[in-house]
Amino acid sequence: MTQGTVFNKEEIKIVLFEGISQAAVEVFGQAGYTNVELLPKAVDRETLLAKLSGAHMIGIRSRTQLKQEILEHEAASRLMAVGCFCIGTNQVNLPVAATRGVPVFNAPHSNTRSVAELVIGHTIMMMRKVFPNSMAAHRKQWNKSAAGCYEVRGKTIGIIGYGHIGSQVSVLAEAMGMKVIYYDVLTKLPLGNATQVTSMQELLKTADVVSLHVPATPETKEMMGAEEIALMREGSYLINASRGNVVVVDALAEAIRSEKLLGAAVDVFPKEPASNTEAFESPLVGLESVILTPHIGGSTQEAQRNIGREVAGKLINYCTHGSTIGAVNFPGVNLTHSPNTIRLLHIHHNRPGVLQKINDVVGDHAINVLGQYLRTTEDIGFVVLDIDAAHGREKVSVIRDQLSEVPGTIRTRKLVSDEEGDHTILE
């Protein structure tokens, strides 16, 4: 019989990469998770593997790539959950994480306002040529001129992707007197006086400023190439604060050089430096009507603090209670305290017969099951069994061992609660 390894909360190893907010460490600490290492930046592959070794949970932002090779590496064998302390989760191979029994959590809302504000800032800065004039002034050159400078009032902003960020850009842009049109693959409720258009082509032909707010998917990869830029109005502007590979950067650079576009603002790039010490390279470097920002759309104190709290909370809920609410690659089961129970988590491939086998194992033992939960996605099944602690840990360990033998099992975990129902020990 395998008893499994017992970990108290303070033994759960948590590594946070990429300068995640101290607020996360505080939230972990308040919940009893004190073994937290906070690294200031993204690390190279070797350091990543070294830090992963023995880690139960890790936190990353957009730079750390958790590819199949990393997730399947021996160093990641203890990895129980991943927190993306940002919105995007495209840096993680989500299906592989799921089939390793590793739920991935993110913060889908916490930095959206920060991005929307930056986009509005970019819009005004571009249309008033603030950056080239400011840089000239720093060189002691006085460029007082109205040439090529415009108010945003009365102009049309075209938003591609009307989700959490796009819709907030819509509200802020309208408050400044802009007309808002948007294109989305889904029918979205228009906020204020915004209007949904039926094709991206229509939007590109109409808008004075085009702002991209789509996720990184195979469909959005290079969705703004030379052909699409050619459809844009002469002398219009493009903003990309979504993901770098949504735009073909060479095509954008060419459109700026030919003055087809009067300006652009770009916060995300197909290739971004892994750390602040690495040089930034892009075909857009040196084009002064392009505002370049180093992927700082969500980089505000407010956003980072909120993200730190939100994602740390989700990881704690998973570790302590097995709750997967908010996971992007896993069936969502909302679990809380359950006094005097031993909770078994069974993660399995979602294929016919697994559930029957689980029930057979449980049925073979005369036990009092206080709660049973099941959620599935297309690929993954997640069963939670709350067993009366009166049956004792030994007996439940036998059941766990048998459940681990069920064909299709990915992973099992055992959480033992105290009288208050806090699952303090993980085996």
Ligand X SMILES: NC(=O)c1ccc[n+]([C@@H]2O[C@H](COP(=O)([O-])OP(=O)(O)OC[C@H]3O[C@@H](n4cnc5c(N)ncnc54)[C@H](O)[C@@H]3O)[C@@H](O)[C@H]2O)c1
Catalytic positions: 243, 272, 295
- Compute the least distance from the CB of residue 221 to ligand 3PG, in Å: 16
Q: Which secondary-structure segment (H or E) carries 157? A: strand 156-160
Residue of 184, 288, 191, 190 whose CA lies nearest to 242? 184
In the DSSP assignment, the letter for residue 246 is G
Query: Which helix (H) or strand (E) element contains residue 348?
Result: strand 341-349
According to CB under 6 A, which residues from 95 to 124 bind ligand X? 111-112, 115
The CA–CA distances, whole Å, from 159 to 111, 112, 207, 253, 378 equal 18, 15, 9, 21, 32
Q: How far is the CB of 295 from ligand 3PG (least distance, A)?
A: 6
Six-digit token string for 240:
């990309």
Residues of the shown chain interacting with ligand 3PG in the complex, contacts defined by CB under 6 A: 61-63, 86-88, 111, 295, 298-299
Residue 61's binding partner, choosing from ligand 3PG, ligand X, none, with beta-carbon cut-off 5 to 8 A by kind?
ligand 3PG
CA separation (Å) from 332 to 174, 261, 306, 327? 37, 45, 22, 7
Of 214 and 290, the one with the shorter C-beta distance to ligand X is 214
Cβ-closest residue to ligand X?
Answer: 163
By a kind-dependent CB cut-off of 5 to 8 A, residue 146 interacts, out of ligand 3PG, ligand X, none, with: none
Residue 295 CB, nearest distance to ligand X (Å)?
Answer: 5
C-beta of residue 42 within 8 angstroms of C-beta of residue 274 = yes
Nearest 5°: phi and psi at 60? -135, 170
Residue with tokens 């208050």: 420
Given ligand X, ligand 3PG, none, residue 219, with its beta carbon under 5 to 8 Å by kind, binds ligand X
What's the token pair of residue 22?
A: 């101290």
Distance CA 199, CA 181 (A): 11
- 242 binds ligand X per the rule CB under 6 A: yes
Tell me which residues in 177-216 interact with ligand X (CB under 6 A): 183-186, 188, 213-216
Binding at 19: pick from ligand 3PG, ligand X, none (beta carbon under 5-8 Å per type): none
The least CB distance from residue 164 to ligand X, in Å, is 4
Minimum CB separation of residue 413 from ligand X in Å reads 30
Tell me how far apart the alpha carbons of residues 251 and 222 are, in angstroms, rounded to a whole number: 10
Q: Which lies closer to ligand X via its Cβ, residue 164 or residue 205?
A: 164
Interface residues with ligand X (CB under 6 A) are 87-88, 111-112, 115, 160-166, 183-186, 188, 213-217, 219-220, 241-243, 267-268, 295, 297-298
